[in-house]
Amino acid sequence: MKRSDNRILTTHVGSLVRSKAAIEAVRNHDQKKLEAEVADIVAHQARSGIDIVNDGEFGKSGWANYILERLSGFEFRPDKMYQAVWLGRDRIRFDEFMKEQFPRGVTGSPGHACVAPITYTGHDAVRGNLEALKAAVAKTKVEDVFFTAVAPASVGYDAENEYYKNEEDYVFAIANALREEYLEIVNAGFVLQVDDAVLANMFDHLSQESPKKFYDWAELRVAALNKALEGIPEDRIRYHICFGSWHVPHVADAKLSDIVDLMLSVKAGAYSIEAANVRHEHEWKLWKTKKLPAGKILIPGIITHHTTTVEHPELVAERIVNFAGAIGKENLIASTDCGFAQGETTQRVHPQVMWAKFESLAEGARIASKQLWG
């Protein structure tokens, strides 16, 4: 994994707004067309000044639910509505807002049930994605390449276990299956990014009973993730934790201080967090007292998917310098809060705005690098 040895490197969280052609390529299983779209998105990232790139998640239907297409054992339940408990008490605080702008928060959504043994069946799909990315980066000069996969805690967040005798067996079965995808990614030569939005988002809901309820739930899932990562060098793994890309008030978000120790217990070489949106920007100060473990990298959001306003490069530089002062410039990579398109048809901001934000991130990193290295 590359480090910011002589300048601040830039990256992002993973999902980028898909073109119509990319969506059609996935739906039609058109590998040749997918490779062309991935080549274009990789080249666009490089032109925008992003150093550590990926495929924009163009080969997936969504940031987490894609995995249910690659696992056996789950059955879709179209007639059962699963409540969006990961929104915490915001579902109640902002019920009128939810009804109008995020109805899923009130009504829930159809989900899945585990009804049989969980095994990984996505080898052909992930290999096709990896081949498309390999072909793309061979044509473009970049610092490094990452590829995303979902964490056990974020698999089937709108689902329930009807097969395994207990929760531990269920969670570890998921992790054991995911390990096969993790190994495919690392063996292809890419940095593995494990995405885990649901872990932090369950804090408010589960803590209403007691904080212990949340930590028991989360620690089981972190243990399962670490088991799935066993034997993979930590410097080939980055772990992304966030509070969801959905445009809601986010008053129910956990504080970084509530979950930072959980995050750091994941056996990864780098940790990606939200830090640019107005609910969490102040939390960079935590790192003045919380020591980042030796050799680890922090990848904070310096620009956000939450607004269409493009961050000024000077503000970007200021945020970078703040983090560098707290954790050391060589331990920092500048990134985004979350992805820009968690579902294949999702668009958190217009593509023109997304690329302008990336360009501002790159320019701000150049300004900060001059200040930090002279």
| Average pLDDT for 278-297 | 97
pLDDT score recorded for residue 61:
87
pLDDT at 302: 98
Over residues 229-233, the mean pLDDT reads 98
Q: Is residue 122 predicted with pLDDT exceeding 90?
A: yes
Angle between helices 31-47 and 20-27 (to 10 degrees): 150
Tokens of 303: 């620009």
User: What whole-number distance in Å separates Cα of residue 101 and Cα of residue 82?
Assistant: 18
Residues written for the chain: 374
Q: For tokens 């306003």, name the residue.
A: 309
Window from 175-179, 213-217, 344-348 with minimum mean pLDDT: 344-348
Q: Residue 246: pLDDT above 90?
A: no
Range with the poorest average pLDDT among 246-255, 262-271, 291-300: 246-255
pLDDT of residue 342: 84
- Three-class SS state of 240: strand
Does residue 84 sit in helix, strand or coil?
A: coil
Query: Is pLDDT larger for residue 107 or for residue 215?
Result: 215
Q: What is the mean pLDDT of the chain?
A: 95
As a whole number, mean pLDDT of residues 284-312 equals: 97
Domains in the chain, ordered, with CATH? Answer: 9-66+120-155+164-373 (3.20.20.210)
Helix axis angle, 167-187 to 211-228, nearest 10°: 40
**N-terminal to C-terminal alpha carbon distance within the chain:** 24
Query: Torsion-angle region of residue 226: left (phi > 0), alpha (psi -120 to 50) or beta?
Result: alpha
Q: Is residue 62 pLDDT above 90, yes or no?
A: no
Residue 1 CB contacts under 8 Å (≥ 6 apart), including other chains: 144, 191, 235, 236, 238, 269, 270, 297
Mean pLDDT within 301-305: 97
Residue 70 CB partners (closer than 8 Å, separation 6+): 120, 121, 122, 125, 126, 181
User: Given this model, what pLDDT does residue 345 score?
Assistant: 84
pLDDT score of 343: 83
